[in-house]
Amino acid sequence: MLQKPRGTRDFLPGEMEARRTIEWRMRETARRWGYREVCTPEFEDLELFTMRSGEGIVEEMYVFEDKGGRKLALRPEITASVIRMYINEAKVAPKPLRWCYFADCFRYERPQKGRYRQFWQFGVELIGADTAQADAEVITLAAEILNATGVTYDLKVGHLSFMRNLLKDLEYPTQRRMMAFLDKKDFDGLKNTLESMNRPDLGMSLISLSECHDLTEAFEIAGTIPEKERIIRTAECLDAAGVEYSLNFGIARGLDYYTGMVFEGFAQNLGAENQILGGGAYRLAHLFGGDDVASCGFAIGFDRVMVSLGDIQHKKETVVAIICTDEGRRQALKVARTFRDAGIRSEMDLMERGLGAQLAHASRSADFAVVIGRREAESGTVTLKNLQSGEQKVMDLAAAVKEVSADGAR
């Protein structure tokens, strides 16, 4: 028997209904903040992703050559594509641009619960606003979208300038290695490497910074930081908006394009793969041949949110089974259409079953049966049977639609 590729999933109708319910809540929140949906290609030139992050990232991607010999990659994330699209299509549009997306991404990772090779992100990118208010808007929106889903999480906000200030004397590749240790919370790795470089002091400062949750203290550890005022103002905006968050100056972010404020969200009830949100301020456009526009955004790991929510309760749809004899079939087709036009899910027998078998099937799959036999066909009525109570009545079609609609509204 053929199986789906490793790290991918199939979704049955019930799961898709639950996913769409949560997706809709995310979209609806973003819409209210003025973020409009964009869509980019599922694959891009490989260079789009290696330009900032280096060739190393190829290991984690689905990379292939097309028949024309072009090197392409399935997108591992959407931010780079959105910024490429901004440069191609919307460079001159009035700023700021508020965009959002819901799209699948592909990463060649070792699959486990909450970590897949194909997964979905709901994200936003705010392009062209370089202020504390912009940073705060993006964080606040992330929190509101997560709140709308009902997930319980911890939000951590930091800023790269603290770490970068401490690391500024090191070569850039070494800085990146140290940030990678910090990102993985590998403090031993960090300490050992810095000790071998005769900089144990730096290891101590970086670890203290990672464990510090107070702005004043962080400024004391990291020294003079040009972004100080902006960082204070961002925190003030977040407090004024009532966002629940904690400060965390150990956030380094895995991706390479971040320049300032960074933030992450963690679901409280998930295990190892509990990061459900990641984002921050970044600059990418200049790398792709555009202006050096400041941007800020985040992506929510949609699948992890769904795992965290577990079995969600969503409103059950009312289902009507249209049941007929041969004499009633023509009339039944019209009846089904009337129910569907009224927005009611209606299903007809396709198996040429007898009346009894149709009813038996309906009792397992529907809430109401609408029966059209010879008598109903001749009199232009229907028999409406409530499959839960067993109660049944002959009535005209409009009355039956009204009764079923009233049940759906309950």
Shortest spacing between CB 335 and ligand HAM, in angstroms: 46
Q: Give the count of beta carbons closer than 10 Å to the beta carbon of residue 402.
A: 13
Q: How far is the CB of 188 from ligand HAM (least distance, A)?
A: 24
Q: Between residues 175 and 275, which has the closer beta carbon with respect to ligand HAM?
A: 275
- Residue count, binding to ligand HAM (CB under 6 A): 25
CB of 273 to ligand HAM, least distance (A): 7
Q: Which residue type does 284 have? A: L
Tell me: does residue 107 bind ligand HAM (CB under 6 A).
yes
**The one segment of 229-237, 273-281, 345-353, 395-403 that binds ligand HAM by CB under 6 A:** 273-281
Q: What region does 380 belong to: left with phi over 0, alpha with psi -120 to 50, or beta?
A: left
Q: Which amino acid is at 301?
A: G
- Is residue 275 a contact point for ligand HAM (CB under 6 A)? yes
Amino acid at 165: N
Choice from 250, 301, 373, 408 touching ligand HAM (CB under 6 A): 301
Q: What are phi and psi of 277, to 5 degrees?
A: -155, 140
The reply on whether position 101 binds ligand HAM by CB under 6 A is: no
Task: Find out whether 282 and 258 touch, Cβ atoms under 8 Å.
Answer: yes
121 makes contact with ligand HAM (CB under 6 A): yes
Rule CB under 6 A: is residue 299 a binding residue for ligand HAM?
Answer: yes
Token pair for residue 21?
């319910």
CA angle 329, 331, 333 (to 5 degrees): 70
Q: By CB under 6 A, is residue 369 in contact with ligand HAM?
A: no
CA-CA distance, 62 to 154, in Å (whole number)? 31
| Positions in 246-265 near ligand HAM (CB under 6 A) | 254-255
Q: What count of other Cβ atoms lies within 10 Å of the Cβ of residue 35?
A: 24
Q: Is 74 in the site for ligand HAM (CB under 6 A)?
A: no
Are 365 and 321 within 8 A, CB to CB? Answer: yes
Question: Applying CB under 6 A, which residues contact ligand HAM?
Answer: 77, 79, 107, 109, 115-116, 119, 121, 123, 125, 254-255, 275-280, 282, 297-299, 301, 303-304
